[in-house]
């Protein structure tokens, strides 16, 4: 049976479909000895598909949940030899992180070799929720909370509305107030939560992702990883088919 080439590569654990499309565009993929074309369909049972001269073989799918500690890079490999999230996961084969957390941020990150699922989880149209507990310098005014809830303008465009709850305001720090918030978003822009807080005038001191869709950090110590249960994988596959628990407020401002 024929399948799109980028889907075959993704299912073989070579990354998301977008990453696999980049491999094809770069001329690194061949089909029956010729350079592959983006968008073509192949029959893996009848045709020889190679990437960088090596045959593409289907890998057993793996799904892991890591509670990432600070100082670990959200990447599969690092040319500078820094510790990465894949070093924290005892996977049998190659896995890659679904999205990323900043080097100094902590919390949940999913790792898998299922490129199709990864692409779905990363696409904003599926509204896969990510929940963060964020500690910032200063007292966060209600006006700032309102801007976060409605959406605001960053240098790469306007954010979708976020669900924001102020958990506590600590005025005992002496030099400056400290505020802790819970922020829920479904986008995944680079350093998004930090940039959102900077846009309303607050520097992030600590950022921890406590939830990724229905997965939480309960019972998973910092630095530890565990395989996902089949029911959890199935829930992730259904991401986007469920309405959000609390609809975000309408409207936006910059």
- Our measurement of the distance from residue 105's CA atom to the centroid of its chain's CA atoms, rounded to an integer in Å, reads 13
DSSP state of 136: E
What are residue 34's phi and psi, to 5 degrees? Answer: -115, 155
The catalytic position among 43, 78, 102, 114 is 102
d(CA 107, CA 130): 11
d(CA 161, CA 253): 10
Instruction: Label each residue of 179-237 as H, E or C.
Output: EEEEEEECCCCCCHHHHHHHHCCCCEEEEEEEEECCEECCCCCCCCEEECCHHHHHHHH
102 is catalytic: yes
Say how many C-beta atoms besides its own lie within 10 A of residue 2's C-beta.
Answer: 13
Cross-strand bridge partners of residue 154: 157
Active site residues: 102
């Amino acid at each position: 049976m024929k399948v799109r080439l980028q889907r075959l590569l993704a299912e073989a654990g070579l990354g998301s479909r977008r990453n696999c499309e980049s491999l094809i565009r770069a001329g690194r993929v061949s089909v029956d000895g010729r350079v592959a074309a983006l968008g073509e369909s192949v029959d893996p049972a009848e045709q020889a598909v190679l990437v960088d001269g090596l045959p593409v073989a289907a890998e057993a799918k793996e799904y892991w949940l890591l509670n990432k500690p600070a100082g670990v890079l959200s990447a599969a490999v690092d040319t500078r030899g820094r510790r990465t999230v894949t070093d924290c996961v005892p996977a049998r084969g190659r896995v890659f992180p679904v999205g990323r957390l900043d080097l100094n941020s902590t919390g949940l990150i999913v790792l898998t070799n299922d490129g199709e699922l990864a692409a779905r989880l990363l696409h904003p149209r599926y509204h896969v929720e990510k929940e963060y507990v964020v500690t910032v310098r200063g007292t966060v005014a209600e006006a700032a909370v309102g801007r976060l809830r409605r959406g605001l303008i960053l240098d790469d465009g306007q954010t979708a509305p976020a669900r924001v709850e102020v958990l506590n305001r600590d005025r005992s720090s002496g030099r400056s107030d400290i505020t802790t918030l819970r922020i829920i978003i479904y986008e995944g822009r680079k350093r998004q939560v930090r940039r959102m807080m900077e846009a309303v005038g607050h520097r992030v001191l600590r950022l921890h992702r406590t939830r990724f869709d229905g997965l939480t950090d309960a019972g998973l110590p910092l630095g530890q990883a565990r395989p996902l249960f089949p029911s959890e994988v199935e829930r992730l596959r259904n991401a986007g088919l469920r309405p959000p628990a609390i609809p975000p407020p309408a409207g936006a401002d910059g």
